[in-house]
């Protein structure tokens, strides 16, 4: 068997393992954005835990290979268990959420200098060899933009929904429109927009300050005929929770952000049920 045949057989075997893994997962959702810095990972982490609180079995795949921040935001900075004999990876479980990320396997502060095919290959391996078992939801936190990893995740993961995160300002909406159109071209059946950083809630007086404006994501979703899932404000406690590895939706103290995530998860459940 020549090298090309061997490679083709290896890809075929991996695709079969991915297919077998996906059969155990009811709903698959990719979370991405047209540009960085819009709070995509914050949305993915808090949404995953919100779904978990609603008695779902949930997994979170950190597919932002060169910028993996999920472990920091969840406090799950522990390497997964690798069963080399069986070629399997056991995801780390943090507060009931199954998490897979490359971050804990890297030396601290070391950059991962990989070209696109290697990054895509890592995502394929996470889908094929991680023992997710039966899940109600698997969320994949993808890198910003419309590059290799987004394409690979859409083709291999076969998501039923894409969630595109944006801020209300036009400079973010420009790239968000591109991300929405990419999801359409990839034939992802349901596309939702989340407007993040939609107003700063003052920690002293509880008044809202529209730093980046508000309503831009909702108007864009209506214009592009996709679902609008919700508008998330900026709260100081959200940033503090992310830095401390304690997502705000797990805190006992009520917050506007936690309420919005419950609304977003309800909208997702309704869309997928239909």
Collapsed DSSP state (helix, strand, coil) of residue 226:
coil
| Containing structural domain, residue 63 | 3-273
In degrees and rounded to multiples of 5, residue 94 shows phi and psi of: -125, 115
> What gap in Å lies between CA 1 and CA 5, rounded to an integer?
6
Query: Strand pairing of 190-195 and 227-231?
Result: parallel
> What gap in Å lies between CA 273 and CA 137, rounded to an integer?
13
Closest CA to 44 of 119, 112, 176, 137: 137
Q: Residue 1: its pLDDT value, please? A: 62
- CATH code at 227? 3.40.50.300
Residue that has been written with the tokens 């709903």 in this structure: 27
Write out pLDDT tens, residues 4-44: 777 778 888 999 999 999 999 999 999 999 888 899 999 99
- 36: DSSP letter: S
Per-residue pLDDT of the chain (274 residues; tens, 9 = 90+): 677 777 778 888 999 999 999 999 999 999 999 888 899 999 999 999 999 999 999 999 999 999 999 999 999 888 888 887 777 899 999 999 999 999 998 888 888 899 989 999 999 999 999 999 999 999 999 999 888 899 999 999 999 999 999 999 888 999 999 999 999 999 999 999 999 998 878 787 878 878 777 888 999 999 999 999 999 998 988 989 999 999 999 998 888 999 999 999 999 999 999 8
Collapsed DSSP state (helix, strand, coil) of residue 192:
strand
> Residue 25 pairs with which residues in a beta bridge?
135
The answer to whether 161 and 273 have CB atoms below 8 angstroms apart is no
What's the structural domain count of the chain? 1
Cβ–Cβ contacts within 10 Å for residue 245, how many? 15
Write out pLDDT tens, residues 39-74: 999 999 999 999 999 999 999 999 999 999 999 999
Closest CA to 94 of 128, 59, 62: 59
């Amino acid at each position: 068997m020549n090298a090309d045949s061997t490679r083709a057989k290896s890809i075929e075997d991996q695709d079969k393992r991915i297919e077998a893994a996906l059969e155990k997962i009811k709903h698959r959702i990719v979370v991405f954005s047209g540009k960085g810095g819009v709070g995509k990972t914050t949305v993915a982490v808090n949404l995953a835990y919100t779904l978990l609180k609603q008695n779902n079995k949930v997994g979170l795949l950190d597919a932002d290979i060169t910028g993996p921040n999920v472990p920091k935001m969840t406090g799950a900075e522990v390497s997964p268990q690798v069963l080399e004999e069986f070629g399997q990876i056991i995801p780390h479980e943090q507060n009931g959420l199954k998490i897979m990320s490359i971050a804990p396997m890297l030396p601290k502060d070391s950059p991962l200098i990989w070209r696109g095919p290697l990054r895509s290959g890592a995502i394929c391996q996470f889908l094929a060899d991680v023992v997710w078992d039966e899940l109600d939801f698997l969320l994949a936190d993808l890198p910003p933009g419309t590059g290799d990893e987004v394409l690979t995740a859409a083709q291999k993961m076969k998501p039923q929904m894409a969630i595109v995160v944006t801020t209300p300002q036009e400079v973010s909406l420009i790239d968000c429109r591109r991300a929405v159109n990419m999801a359409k071209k990839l034939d992802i059946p349901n596309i939702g927009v989340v407007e993040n950083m939609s107003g700063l809630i003052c920690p002293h007086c509880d008044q809202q300050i529209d730093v980046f404006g508000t309503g831009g994501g909702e108007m864009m979703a209506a214009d592009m005929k996709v679902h609008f899932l919700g508008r998330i404000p900026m709260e100081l406690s959200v940033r503090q929770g992310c830095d401390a590895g304690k997502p705000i939706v797990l805190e006992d103290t009520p917050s506007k952000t936690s309420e919005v995530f419950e609304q977003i998860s309800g909208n997702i459940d309704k869309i997928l049920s239909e």
